[in-house]
Amino acid sequence: MKSTGETTNTTEKEQKLPVTEKNGTAPEKTEHILNRLIIGAGVCVAVIAVLIGVKLYRQDRQMDITEPFARSMVLASDPLSAEKRFQAETLSADLCVGETSVPLNDISFSSQVKAGLFDLDHKKVLFAQNMYDQVYPASITKIMTLLLIFENLEKGKIKLEDEVVTSAHAKSMGGSQVFLEEGEVQTVETMIKCIVVASANDASVAMAEKICGSEEAFVERMNARAKELGMTETHFCDCCGLTSDEQHYTSARDVALMSRELITKYPEIYRYTKIWMEDITHVTQKGSTPFTLSSTNKLLKQYEYTTGLKTGSTSVAKYCFSATAHKDGIDLIAVVMAAPDHKVRFADAKTLLTYGFSVCSIYHDANTDTLPKLKVKGGVEDTVSLRYDKEFRYLDLNGQDMSGVTKKWELSETVPAPATEGEKAGEAVYYLGEQRLGSVDILYAQTVEQADYGDYIKSIFKDTFIISHFLV
């Protein structure tokens, strides 16, 4: 113990002295240590370079298997200008496109009307009879008026509880009305009920003035919106359909388009279209008086699947009807224009809807199954998770056995970074035998950024203990 202590003290003392030529031990040790460090550093660099090279090589090999679906889509040439592409997409995305006439099989139907039967979700034409012919729309016009009202509600420009003051112009409307007095105040929601249930011309004009300041300005917006929807056979001259101006016209197909836009984007409209009778209160200088709104849609009591939508009639337009109905997960729109009387319009609409539900069946996939993860080339993560864009629904009109439907994923094995959440990664395609039924987009469920050199270094240190083991 004593000698050990003496050795320790001597060593400590010598460590405090400067190194000289006489002490040859220290320089030799230092040189040896430096040599080891230099060699170690060189080996580290070599190992890192090799590992990075291997990783990049593997990723390149994986990439050679197939091109990513999303990338191949982006690289596709597009001869259309941005403006023309917008117009094309606008005119095709939500259109029910079909022949002028698509007959019914062994179904009795009035020959003189312009009509169509349309599937709401799948944009299919189940029946058409001169559906592109231009006709007077009468109060069917109010579907576009209601669409603009609900769009303004969505944007927050108006609220259901906002007050609407009736002008002298609005009061002067004839035809179907709720007899609003000049200066009378009603809420936006009450005005909506008056328009939907009682087809009130005065309430329609009052709302047009509320939103745009004048009926003329509102009508301009109606025509602009019609163009956006691809309503190629439509032009409006007023907001209620009372006019007999020959420049106020539409078609059965166009009525279906604006009906579809209204009920798909604003299903809350059904709260009002299903009302059979409801009282409102007129509050004027003369006092308060009750007034009963009575629905013009008699199909509500004649056909149990009815959900809406709007009737119309004038001497020049005759009798018109855009009828909506729901049964077994299927939504249909039946449009009847220029019927000779109100009985024919309701009977024809019922005939169309009954026929539609008899030939239609729905295949539905909620897409709750688990999708695989895709390998990512050059990303900060090795894989990226996926999700379905939406559920899949297919409308069958041919009585096929849908139990044999199969689903196939069209995905690349490897995708390049970055992979951005919400972007398309591939498709889930549905088949019945060899028949392709449709598809649903598969999207990235997360974002994986592109890796830089530092990320590669971190990845290597994470995946291997070679370097750390060597340094120890």
For residue 253, which amino acid is it?
R
Q: Which of 114, 139, 204, 318 is catalytic?
A: 139
Q: Is the pLDDT of residue 57 over 50?
A: no
Q: Which one from 176, 199, 204, 313 is the annotated catalytic residue?
A: 199
Say what the pLDDT of residue 2 is.
35
Please write the tens of the pLDDT for every residue from 302-358.
Answer: 999 999 999 999 999 999 999 999 998 899 999 999 999 999 999 999 999 999 998
> What pLDDT shows up at residue 38?
62
Q: What is the DSSP string of 313-326?
A: EETTTEEEEEEEEE
| Domain edges within the chain | 63-89+365-454, 96-359
pLDDT at 97: 47
Is the pLDDT assigned to residue 431 strictly greater than 90?
A: yes
Residue 139 bears catalytic tag: yes
Per-residue confidence band for 6, with pLDDT thresholds at 50, 70 and 90: very low
The reported pLDDT for the residue numbered 400 is 86
pLDDT number for residue 359: 87
Is residue 44's pLDDT more than 90?
A: no
Least confident of 72-76, 106-110, 402-406: 72-76
For position 107, what pLDDT does the model report? 63
The answer to whether 313 and 342 are in contact (CB under 8 A) is yes
Amino acid at 354: T
Indicate the Cα dihedral angle 433, 438, 444, 450, nearest 10°.
90
Question: Which one-letter DSSP state was computed for residue 244?
Answer: -
CB 254 within 8 A of CB 236: no
For the domain made up of 63-89+365-454, the CATH class stated in words is: mainly beta
- pLDDT category at 14 given cuts 50, 70, 90 is very low
Q: What is the pLDDT of residue 78?
A: 33
Work out the average pLDDT over 265-284: 96
What is residue 145's predicted lDDT score, i.e. its pLDDT?
98
Question: Alpha-carbon distance 318 to 50, whole Å?
Answer: 83
Q: d(Cα 190, Cα 143) in Å, to the nearest integer?
A: 17
Class of domain 96-359: alpha beta
The secondary element (H helix, E strand) that includes residue 215 is helix 215-228
Percentage of the chain modeled with pLDDT above 70? 72
The tens digit of pLDDT for each residue in 96-139 reads: 445 555 656 556 666 678 999 998 877 788 888 889 999 999 99
pTM beyond 0.75: no
Average pLDDT over every residue of 9-32: 42
Which of the listed ranges 19-33, 34-48, 94-108, 443-457 does the model predict with the highest average pLDDT?
Answer: 443-457
Q: Cβ–Cβ contacts within 10 Å for residue 445, how many?
A: 16
**Could you give the percent of the chain with pLDDT greater than 90?**
63
Question: Band of the pLDDT at 3, cuts 50, 70, 90?
Answer: very low
- pLDDT reading at 77 higher than 50: no
Question: What is the arithmetic mean of pLDDT over 207-233?
Answer: 97
Catalytic residue among 142, 193, 210, 377: 142
Residue 46 pLDDT more than 90? no
For 151-175, the pLDDT digits (tens) are 999 999 999 999 999 999 999 999 9
Asked if 426 contacts 396 with a C-beta cutoff of 8 angstroms, the reply is: no
CA atoms within 13 A on the CB side of 14: 12
pLDDT the model gives residue 23: 41
Active site residue 199: yes
Q: Which residue has the higher pLDDT, 362 or 430?
A: 430
What does DSSP say about strands 383-384 and 424-432: parallel, antiparallel, or unpaired? unpaired
Across the chain, mean pLDDT equals: 81
Residue 362: what residue type? I
Model confidence pLDDT, tens digit, residues 364-384: 999 999 999 999 999 999 999
Burial (Cβ within 10 Å: 0-12, 13-18, ≥19) of residue 401: exposed
Examine the pLDDT at 49 and tell me if it is beyond 80: no
